[in-house]
Structure 1
Amino acid sequence: WAGQHRARWYGRGALAVLLGAALLLAWALPAGFAGGAAYRQALFFTQTAGRVVDKVAQAADLQNHAQPFWWYLPALPLLLFPFSGWPRMWVALATLRRPLEPGLRFALSWLLPVFVTFSLIGGKQLYYPLPEFGGAALLMAAAIALLRERRPALADNGWLGTWPLAVAGIGFALFLFLLPMLVASHRLHGYWPEAAAPSSRYFSVVFLLLGGLLLLRGRGELRRLAVAGLIGALTLNTLFTVTLWPRYDLRPSAQLLHDADRRNQSIGYLGDYAGQFHFAGRLRHPIISLTEGKNLQDFAQAHPNGLIVAHPDRLDAEDLRYALLVQPFRSTWVVIWPATALADLRAGHTPPEPAQPTQVYPSDDWRHRMQP
């Protein structure tokens, strides 16, 4: 069809590109104007260019997630999971032979050039190749269809079924069931298991059922795998939302910084600032990256009503006594200080008692917990 209707083929392709750009701009333009000048500059230039060109990232002091060329290759099994754990899919891909059908050539022409381009770009994150998953699904589905057509013995071989994923699902269900005991006996540490343990047994039932589903044989194997993958992903996302999301929710800190920014208070960040507060807090002014020592003291002297955001691994009594706000963030903490109070403590002096007690989020027992 494409060869007979070239104008329509390329015209619709160009239209698809324009529509994709319009969708992107429909989000980016309002976000840029809502986030302020500093966020707009980061969004449209420094953050984007810094992902591609290391010198831009270094000049703008950006964390551009630079990784080597081959970084995506060992990540492919994770990116393609659960299909990467299905032996029949790998056999189907391995048995493809030239000449390839037009649909397969289309999928490969979609995947390979873009994958190479993503690999050449310095900044890499696991979710950057997400737009390519559609092409990967087309390729795998076509390979399975050809395997069934040309090699029925391999298509029906039980050893190539979804049983490895079933075993993994049942094993993960057992792990979730035992997680509260492992945490209570101090055999497993860390903020992930500690946060997930109170609810993990409820979710273990889902993975046990999914493991049983994947043990079934016969027709519908691909559909069962797709359904299990969707339900499994939704279950993991729900487990994360229920147990771990408070450690990723920066709204309390962003709101405090928003209020300070509107009062034209200068804000410093002790360490490398990665832009995590600007959009959430709708900040209009830049946050200044600071270092310990003279740089911090100079900032406090120049901006006596300013704030400093610190990012300690552990809390101490001074954090809970003199800081404005304390909240967990991932495996560490976000602590927002009056600049002069932090400068006094770093200089070995005792700051004045704050007018208001430290805000601690979440507002349950975190005040009395000294480490995440």
Structure 2
Amino acid sequence: MSSEQAKSQNKKKEGAKALSPLFLVLLCIFGIVCLSISNILVRPLFPIDETRYISVAWEMWNKGEFLVPHLNGQPYSHKPPLLFWLIHLGWAAFGVVEWWPRILPAAFGILNLCFIRMLASRFYPNTPVGELVVVVFSSMFMFLFFSLSLMFDMLLMCFVCLAYVSLFSIQERKFATITFGLAIGLGILTKGPVMLVHVLPFAILYPAMVGFRNIKLKVYYLRLFLGTLLGILISLCWAIPASIKGGDLYRREILWGQSAGRIAKSFAHRRPWWFYMPVLPLLLLPWTGAFVLWIRTSSYLFRDKNILVFASWTIITTICFSLISGKQYFYIMPVLIPMAIMIANSLTAKELKAVDQMIINVIYLIIGITLTILPILVDKLSLPAVFESYKFFYALPTIVFSLLLIFYFPKTQRYQVIFVFAQSFLLFLMLLWGPIKHISKEYDVKEVALFLSRLEANGYQVIHVGKYHGEYHFPGRLSSHFTEVDESLLPQLLTDPKKVAVWVSKDPSKVSQFQVIYHRPYAGKHLFLLGSPKEPLGAKELLEMSRKKGI
């Protein structure tokens, strides 16, 4: 061992003694819990994704149909049912409440921290890497954002991380084959066969990275095959009966259409092959400066064989997803796991220097300044008009804290990562209680959903102009299905006095020929409830009807 490596190992041991692992982990958990509570208090579920997913869960629950997800009366083939089942599990215990689905992403975010610590500690035992990576991972904007969003990606990342924890010990422990298969199966039930893309390409090539002599190839590949087979069988336990019950179209979609369509010629989110190249540094925020850190520690990293494993994980996964037609920035979010471990490992070799600190603090400073001048940018960036009344002082804490840290930044690893996490925590707390709270009323559909509920209770049929994404079914606890129509058919359909229409339009003049029951700004557009001219139902009468029902 060279003198430089010996010094590095000594520094890691000294850092491990100086660190309080429990304190760091609890600090991150406390931050996530605080942000999750603030998230529930400050904002409603935002359309269209969050309201759609919770409405799918509600429709399954309301009908007692737990095998085939449904949206607006039709089988919903875009996502498997695991997240919906987890929502049902909480509703069975606590009743149909909104807070339970909204804490699930944060809960799985915390579980992710446990898995990534296990992963880092396996490769870097007796070093502070396992503790540092928890704080580094928790401070990433992508991690915090999806810990607060009712989507599938935090749940998927949790199972990807568990699969890798199992994979790296699969030749040593038989039980790891079972946990690997369980992770694969649950990952497929979370977001479909994309789980296999996250794990299998790397898993097949893994022996070549660590050296064939260091792995019992027959044992490794046999258990990898058995674990993968177990995962596929777990997913088929749902997919086969669901495909039978859901009908021919649903069967084609879940068994082939959704996956093949996204891979070969995406019907949504089609992007060029190089899409992830500029996106990857942005996913690392606020640790985009890690590239500078890696350059400075390159001599140490090149001698670390484990770095090859994590770098290959990142590169192989990114290449695989680049070959898929459909692309979204968060599709490759699980690559943050190996990248966070590489950042934490680099921090044990060299502390953040002035250039690293400047990059991190300037990122927060730019975000803070941008949020301060939002009212000026409304026209230039085509932002919703609601931002014109936004108060600039919401961003001041982030600006002040960033300026202070530009001139004073801790010298030790422990306080460096804590202060970066503190900046991310403060930024997201400010975002929630500032701009997000400010715009929440414009995106809150609870009022109109409750109006629709009262209309449904009084025998009205609801028509929706254009595609309906389930925005109102859970907030209004609706049971009937909306009829989706083109706007050209409205004059004919609204001759029926027992029909009302929901229309979201940029042009309010289009509704002049109809009886407007309700109108409000909505997501930069106008939301209308329209009634039949034959039986005018004004806003006052509708509100009175609602008050009588106790709304």
In structure 1, the partner of 2:340 is 137
Contact 1:84-1:90 within 8 A present in 2 as well:
no
Secondary structure (helix, strand or coil) at the match of 2:177 reads helix
Report whether the alignment pairs 1:207 with 2:399.
yes
In the TM superposition, 1:76-95 aligns within 5 A as: 76-85=280-289, 88-89=292-293, 91=295
Contact 2:374-2:387 within 8 A present in 1 as well:
no
In structure 2, the partner of 1:354 is 537
**What per-residue deviation string (whole Å, max 9, x for no partner) do you get for residues 285-310 of structure 1?**
433322232x3344335x54222211
Contact 1:53-1:122 within 8 A present in 2 as well:
no
Contact 2:368-2:396 within 8 A present in 1 as well:
yes
Report whether the alignment pairs 1:296 with 2:296.
no
> Which of residues 442, 450, 461 in structure 2 aligns to 1:255?
450
1:81 Cα offset (Å): 0.9
In 1, Cα distance between equivalents of 2:481 and 2:252: 15
In 2, Cα distance between equivalents of 1:71 and 1:81: 17
Q: Which has the higher helix share?
A: 2
Range 119-128 or range 5-14, more displaced: 119-128
Secondary structure (helix, strand or coil) at the match of 2:174 reads helix
Amino acid at match of 1:256: F
Contact 1:51-1:123 within 8 A present in 2 as well:
no
> Which of residues 391, 399, 421 in structure 2 aligns to 1:226?
421
In 1, Cα distance between equivalents of 2:356 and 2:273: 33
Secondary structure (helix, strand or coil) at the match of 1:268 reads strand
In 1, Cα distance between equivalents of 2:253 and 2:345: 40
Question: 1:121 and 1:357, CA in 2 relative to 1: closer, same or farther beyond 3 A?
Answer: farther
In 2, Cα distance between equivalents of 1:284 and 1:50: 29
In structure 2, the partner of 1:74 is 278
In 1, Cα distance between equivalents of 2:412 and 2:312: 31
In 2, Cα distance between equivalents of 1:236 and 1:226: 15
1:83 Cα offset (Å): 0.8
Contact 1:72-1:119 within 8 A present in 2 as well:
yes
In structure 2, the partner of 1:107 is 310
Unpaired segments ≥5 residues, structure 1: 25-41, 149-154, 342-350, 361-372
Question: 1:230 and 1:110, CA in 2 relative to 1: closer, same or farther beyond 3 A?
Answer: farther
Contact 1:196-1:244 within 8 A present in 2 as well:
no
1:329 Cα offset (Å): 2.2
In 2, Cα distance between equivalents of 1:47 and 1:333: 35
1:141 Cα offset (Å): 1.8
In 2, Cα distance between equivalents of 1:123 and 1:285: 33
In the TM superposition, 1:55-74 aligns within 5 A as: 64-74=268-278
Question: 1:194 and 1:324, CA in 2 relative to 1: closer, same or farther beyond 3 A?
Answer: closer
1:112 Cα offset (Å): 4.4
> Which of residues 305, 312, 337 in structure 1 aligns to 2:505?
312
**What per-residue deviation string (whole Å, max 9, x for no partner) do you get for residues 339-363 of structure 1?**
x34xxxxxxxxx7653444879xxx
1:237 Cα offset (Å): 2.7
In structure 1, the partner of 2:73 is none
In 1, Cα distance between equivalents of 2:435 and 2:465: 29
Unpaired segments ≥5 residues, structure 2: 1-167, 192-248, 544-551
Percentage identity across paired residues of the two chains: 18
Contact 2:462-2:500 within 8 A present in 1 as well:
yes
Larger relative contact order (CA 8 Å, sep ≥ 6): 2
Amino acid at match of 2:179: R
Range 44-53 or range 86-95, more displaced: 44-53
Contact 1:163-1:214 within 8 A present in 2 as well:
yes
**What per-residue deviation string (whole Å, max 9, x for no partner) do you get for residues 240-271 of structure 1?**
33211112211122223334445554322222
In 1, Cα distance between equivalents of 2:451 and 2:344: 50
In structure 2, the partner of 1:346 is none
Contact 2:275-2:322 within 8 A present in 1 as well:
yes
> Which of residues 525, 529, 535 in structure 2 aligns to 1:332?
525
In 2, Cα distance between equivalents of 1:216 and 1:290: 60
Question: 1:288 and 1:215, CA in 2 relative to 1: closer, same or farther beyond 3 A?
Answer: farther
In structure 1, the partner of 2:175 is 8
1:177 Cα offset (Å): 4.5
1:78 Cα offset (Å): 2.6
In structure 2, the partner of 1:323 is 516
Range 85-94 or range 161-170, more displaced: 85-94
1:84 Cα offset (Å): 1.2
In 2, Cα distance between equivalents of 1:63 and 1:254: 30
**What per-residue deviation string (whole Å, max 9, x for no partner) do you get for residues 301-327 of structure 1?**
5x5422221111144596699322223
Once superposed, what is the RMSD of the aligned Cα atoms? Answer: 4.6
Contact 1:51-1:66 within 8 A present in 2 as well:
no
